[in-house]
């Protein structure tokens, strides 16, 4: 399997916790960006037709107007062929910028899946996060997608938010279960340097967040959404194929600022700077890189284990893994941070929240 990821680096406003590569108030650059994206994608003509999945993420891809979306899709189709023929094609949207017209365009263009940002079903929490939408926008966008014919919808959810009670979180879970969302991506708040939250002194509370996370994870599970990765829950058969490919160390090409690729054993990412991305296209040069490295031997195997252990199904323990990591695996099994399941190794579900302790042993 090979995936194609496309990063759309524009947002209406910047959320307080956001450290993704996205910029607010630069919508005038969307058309030049689409031209630069076409130039970058043309560099990968040789990979045309080799992709199984597509993920259009950001940023806020739904910020684009219908003609801009059509232009984007025309560019991507030169690499992927018709989206409807892929195993999966996902479009990321924010509720306030997704209307019935765009939902219909996504469906007509062949997308099979849409991921909507919710984070919390309480307007006061959405306001505290600095998000432009409100819960009514989410239910309206969700309804528009259902009306357009989508039967595979994800919602992003967060816990550990300032002022968020356990009842708030469980109410948000209940709302998603009532809407019969097929997939939920669920993260604890992280406060990164350089974000408005960090500047305002917002603090993470990992202990409180861990308790909240487990309570909500149990409610999701009771509602029919199985946890199949540290932060992802799905109804059976609705797991994200594009993301599973990352966790199985499959190949992927990333286009756009900050987009990462893993091709032919080389891992690299474009620089995050939008202006530098546009300038490179203008000069008929490839986008500047943030990093590029070839993963070989123990490093490649360590990454394969760490990615694979993110899945609740864990990894198949092949001979090369055992030979190279026998000591570490033995220690982790003894401490209960890993468990055996037939020929597989996995992190027990009760320890997934502290998976970083496992990963630290392996690097």
Residue ranges that bind ligand SF4, judged by CB under 6 A = 11, 14-15, 18, 20, 22, 58-60, 94, 117
Q: CB of 12: closest distance to ligand SF4 in angstroms?
A: 8
Nearer to ligand SF4, 10 or 111 (CB): 10
Nearer to ligand SF4, 94 or 164 (CB): 94
Rounded CA-CA distance 141/147 in Å is: 10
| Backbone phi and psi for residue 328, each to the nearest 5 degrees, phi listed first | -65, -45
Q: CB of 58: closest distance to ligand SF4 in angstroms?
A: 6
Contacts of 143 (CB under 8 A, 6+ apart): none
Nearer to ligand SF4, 117 or 256 (CB): 117
Q: Provide Rg for the chain, Cα atoms.
A: 20
Q: What angle do CA 176, 12, 140 make, to 5 degrees?
A: 30
Three-class SS of residue 98? Answer: coil
Q: CB of 196: closest distance to ligand SF4 in angstroms?
A: 10
Nearer to ligand SF4, 131 or 311 (CB): 131
Torsion from C-alpha of 88, 61, 63, 71, nearest 10 degrees = -80
Q: CB of 206: closest distance to ligand SF4 in angstroms?
A: 20
Nearer to ligand SF4, 52 or 272 (CB): 272
Q: CB of 11: closest distance to ligand SF4 in angstroms?
A: 3
User: CB pairs under 8 A, 24+ apart, for 45-51?
Assistant: 45/78, 47/2, 47/79, 47/253, 48/78, 48/79, 48/81, 49/79, 49/80, 49/81, 50/2, 51/2, 51/3, 51/4, 51/79, 51/80, 51/86, 51/253
Q: CB of 275: closest distance to ligand SF4 in angstroms?
A: 18
Nearer to ligand SF4, 117 or 308 (CB): 117
């Amino acid at each position: 399997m090979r995936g194609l990821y496309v990063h759309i680096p524009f947002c209406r406003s910047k959320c307080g916790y956001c450290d993704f590569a996205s910029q607010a108030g630069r919508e005038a650059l969307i058309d030049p960006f689409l031209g630069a994206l076409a130039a970058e994608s043309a560099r990968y003509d040789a990979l045309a037709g080799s992709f199984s999945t597509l993920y259009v993420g950001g940023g806020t891809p739904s910020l684009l107007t219908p003609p801009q979306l059509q232009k984007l899709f025309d560019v991507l189709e030169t690499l992927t062929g018709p989206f409807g023929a892929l195993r999966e094609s996902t479009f990321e949207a924010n509720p306030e910028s997704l209307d019935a017209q765009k939902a219909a365009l996504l469906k007509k263009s062949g997308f099979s899946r849409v991921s909507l940002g919710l984070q919390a079903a309480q307007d006061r929490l959405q306001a505290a996060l600095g998000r432009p939408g409100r819960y009514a926008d989410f239910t309206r966008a969700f309804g528009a997608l259902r009306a357009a014919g989508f039967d595979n919808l994800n919602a992003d959810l967060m816990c550990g938010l300032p002022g968020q009670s356990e009842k708030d979180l469980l109410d948000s879970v209940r709302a998603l279960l009532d809407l019969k969302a097929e997939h939920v991506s669920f993260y604890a708040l992280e406060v990164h340097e350089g974000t408005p939250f960090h500047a305002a002194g917002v603090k993470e509370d990992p202990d409180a967040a861990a308790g909240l996370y487990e309570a909500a994870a149990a409610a999701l599970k009771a509602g029919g959404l199985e946890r199949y990765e540290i932060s992802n829950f799905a109804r059976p058969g609705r797991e994200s194929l594009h993301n599973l490919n990352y966790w199985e160390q499959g190949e992927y090409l990333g286009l756009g600022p900050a987009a990462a690729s893993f091709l032919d054993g080389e891992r690299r990412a474009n620089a995050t700077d939008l202006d530098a991305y546009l300038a490179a296209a203008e000069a008929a040069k490839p986008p500047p890189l943030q990093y590029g490295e070839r993963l070989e031997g123990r490093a490649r195997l360590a990454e394969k284990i760490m990615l694979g252990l993110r899945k609740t199904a864990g990894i198949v323990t092949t001979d090369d893994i055992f030979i190279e990591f026998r000591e570490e695996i033995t220690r982790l099994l003894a401490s209960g941070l890993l468990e055996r399941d037939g020929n597989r190794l996995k992190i027990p579900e009760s320890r997934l929240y502290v998976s970083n302790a496992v990963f630290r042993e392996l690097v």
